[in-house]
Amino acid sequence: MLNALRARLHQGHRTLQWPDVPAPVMPERYRGLLAFHPDKCSDACRLCADACPTDAIRPPTGPQGQGFQLDLGACLFCGACEAACPTGALHHTRDWRMAASDRAALHLTGQPLQLAGALDEKLRKLFGRSLKLRQVSAGGCNACEGDASVLTTIGFDIQRFGIDFVASPRHADGLLVTGPVTENMKLALQKTWDAVPAPKIVIAMGACAISGGPYAGHPEVHGGAESVVPVDLWLPGCPPHPLTVLDGLLRMLDRLPAARLKDVMR
């Protein structure tokens, strides 16, 4: 017993203290939010679009990047576009804040990403201090599922915010959907959604759940969660970092301190 107490004292505070303090800066190798610099872009160049494996990039059609668009919801964060760009017009930042309330907000043209806003007052009163989610893997590769599980470990401890995963949809306030929604999972997702008591919410986690990811257009895939259920929060990434997920959830519940809402970590 004494050895266990000594070990605990030696380890100190193991849980991430964000959002009460600024989050740690991500390592250089982390590929976060993509930044686009129109002044560096050539209208005759489409190398980034040709390199993208999911056709998430619409190349510029005019000078200084006019017409350029990046679908962050389809991006796999593979780094191929950044490597292909000869001028540095596209590059990954270390900013993990990418959650959005609107699918259209994930279509970037060089303007700042409109981050997720809070739910309406009625839903915040219901879910603000206790949010139970049923996770549905709708054909995922287990990367997003793994990072969702990481949120329950001591490092992130999502339960300190009153957020937890439950086994039954009848005990849930909403769904966390991962995967592109395969044909075999479409009915299961619909039945799970139907079993959640109203009012309820849906969170699409990862490129597959948002757009179908690399499987978009396949006849056995339905192109993401929105093809079956209404989505309230979009979490880009392949997979999204646990901080991206946690940040999105806390923004949706209006649980972030005001100072953290404007933190810049690029």
Same domain, 54 and 142: no
pLDDT digits (tens, 9 = 90+) for 47-98: 999 999 999 999 888 787 788 999 999 999 999 999 999 999 999 999 999 9
The reply to whether 265 falls in a domain is: no
Same domain, 71 and 145: no
The confidence band for 110, taking pLDDT boundaries of 50, 70 and 90, is confident
Picking from 95, 129, 146, the residue at the C-terminal end of a domain is 95
Nearby residues of 4 by Cβ (< 8 Å), 6 or more positions away = none
The reply to whether 12 falls in a domain is: no
Number of domains observed in the structure of the chain: 2
Same domain, 132 and 249: yes
Tell me the residue range of the domain where 90 lies: 34-95
Asked whether the predicted pLDDT for residue 43 surpasses 80, the reply is no
Q: What's 213's domain CATH number?
A: 3.40.50.12280
0.85 exceeded by the pTM?
Answer: yes
For residue 91, the cross-strand partners are 35
Same domain, 45 and 134: no
| Distance separating alpha carbons of residues 97 and 248, to the nearest angstrom | 8
Q: What's 67's domain CATH number?
A: 3.30.70.3270
The reply to whether 112 falls in a domain is: no
The confidence band for 260, taking pLDDT boundaries of 50, 70 and 90, is low
Nearby residues of 31 by Cβ (< 8 Å), 6 or more positions away = 77, 79, 92
Same domain, 174 and 240: yes
The reply to whether 25 falls in a domain is: no
Question: What does the mean pLDDT of the chain come to?
Answer: 92
Picking from 80, 95, 110, the residue at the C-terminal end of a domain is 95
What is the 8-class DSSP label of residue 12?
A: -
Same domain, 53 and 175: no
Same domain, 247 and 132: yes
Nearby residues of 6 by Cβ (< 8 Å), 6 or more positions away = none
pLDDT digits (tens, 9 = 90+) for 215-255: 999 999 999 999 999 999 999 999 999 999 999 999 999 99
What is the pLDDT at residue 263? 52
Q: Output the six-digit token pair for 193.
A: 């959604």
Same domain, 128 and 84: no
Asked whether the predicted pLDDT for residue 12 surpasses 90, the reply is no
The pLDDT of 150-165, averaged and rounded, is: 95
The reply to whether 26 falls in a domain is: no
